[in-house]
Amino acid sequence: MTIIAGPAARALASLSPSQVRFIRRLPKAELHAHLNGSIPLAILQELAQSYSPPSADGQIGVSNDTVQAGLEKLRNGVTIEAIGDFFGLFPAIYALTSTPEAIARATRGVLDAFFQVDDGDEEPECTYLELRTTPRSTETMSREVYLRTVLSVTSSYSHSLPPLPESIAHGSTRRRISVIASLDRRMSVEVMEEIVDIAIRLKDEGLGLAGVDLCGDPNKGNVEEWKHIFEKARIGGLGITLHIAETLENSPEETLKLLSYKPDRLGHATFLDEEARKIVMENQTCIEICLTSNLLCKTATDLDSHHIRHWLKQQHPLAICTDDILPFRNSLTAEYALLFAKQPLGLGLTEDEVRTIAEMSLDSRFLD
């Protein structure tokens, strides 16, 4: 059961039952969801019951107290003063998902949140999901085992769902769930290279590995070092999405450098200047918009001044996404409610406008 609160919940509560039904029935793709940020709290609590901090070989584990304090924060609702605070939530979550069994359990929990049909709902949260995750190596698994574990769960879950209708599949695979391997800006170049090599190999095995992402604390890392890594990913047939210009501190030079990697999609793209906007527009690069995430991380002041307004005017390809449903307490339906609800609770878009955005999300997925 997903907890929904905050701006998206208020927008959802303002809609009539038939408007909510309209959103639920819309075929749509969730293209920007981080696995470890999307685990239902109940699943983390379940994993915490069997957690014991690794202590072998002098390795310093995350203590039980730290894990409990992290869960307590997530239970009570997280207040984020600045985006940097947000990344402090993950050590406790990572401690609980550091074995193949735990990451498999967590993945199933995330997929249930997106695909299980609750009482009273006719349709799942989304029609198609690209779930992204950062492969970690731990005491009990390598990065390859991490990715294979996630892919084995997503693949069998996808097969258990009715396939995508041909009208949406556009002649491509009728798979409902794909995986994106995330490269964290805090990683070394060697580790990023290792992950891209693994990702290309797994893609070729046909398990539904569709692309790579650049994520992590936007104020860390050096964009001058990564171009060849994304070039290799592209040549290897992987889709590319990049978190870009997520904060005001990301310089225009950095943004232009990232655009030179020729991404297929962009995450957030909140602080693009005129030059960057022109490039994005010329290339018609889809922007993954995460409204609640931006509001709660305070990278957007309110919906009215949110950069989505600019892109809507240009009829630019967009995908509405949740980012991390665990700390942000949102859902894909509630994010769409932010489009649909009347101002000031939402953007006040019409049914046709919302439908067009949902279609854009499906058109922007990484195809096999």
Q: Is the dihedral of CA 328, 331, 332, 338 positive or negative?
A: negative
Whether the bond into 327 is cis, omega within 30 of 0: no
Residue among 40, 70, 216, 239 that touches ligand 6MZ (CB under 6 A): 216
Nearer residue to ligand 6MZ within complex by CB, 245 or 276: 245
* 8 A C-beta contact, residue 330 and residue 8: yes
* 8 A C-beta contact, residue 339 and residue 9: no
| Lookup: tokens for 277 | 């906007």
| Torsion, CA 205, CA 208, CA 211, CA 214, rounded to 10 | -110
Nearest-approach distance from CB 216 to ligand 6MZ, in angstroms: 4
Pattern 230-269, ligand 6MZ, x by CB under 6 A: -------------x--x-----------------------
Nearer residue to ligand 6MZ within complex by CB, 109 or 168: 109
Nearer residue to ligand 6MZ within complex by CB, 90 or 115: 90
* Pairing of β 318-320 and β 286-289: parallel
324 belongs to the binding site for ligand 6MZ (CB under 6 A): yes
Instruction: State the number of binding residues for ligand 6MZ (CB under 6 A).
Output: 18
Nearer residue to ligand 6MZ within complex by CB, 125 or 184: 184
Residues 6+ apart with CB under 8 A from 360: 286, 317, 318, 319
Nearest partner of 288 among 33, 60, 69, 6, judged by Cα: 33
148 belongs to the binding site for ligand 6MZ (CB under 6 A): no
Widest pairwise Cα distance in the chain = 60
> Of 28-36, 164-172, 223-231, 234-242, which part binds ligand 6MZ (CB under 6 A)?
28-36
Nearest-approach distance from CB 186 to ligand 6MZ, in angstroms: 8
Nearest partner of 164 among 199, 115, 108, judged by Cα: 115
Q: From CA 336, how far away is CA 328, in angstroms rounded? A: 15
176 belongs to the binding site for ligand 6MZ (CB under 6 A): no
239 beta partners: 211
Interface of this chain with ligand 6MZ, residues 30 to 69, rule: CB under 6 A: 34-37
Nearer residue to ligand 6MZ within complex by CB, 240 or 297: 297
Interface of this chain with ligand 6MZ, residues 112 to 141, rule: CB under 6 A: 133-134
Q: For binding to ligand 6MZ (CB under 6 A), which residues are involved?
A: 34-37, 86, 90, 133-134, 182, 184, 215-216, 243, 246, 293, 297, 323-324
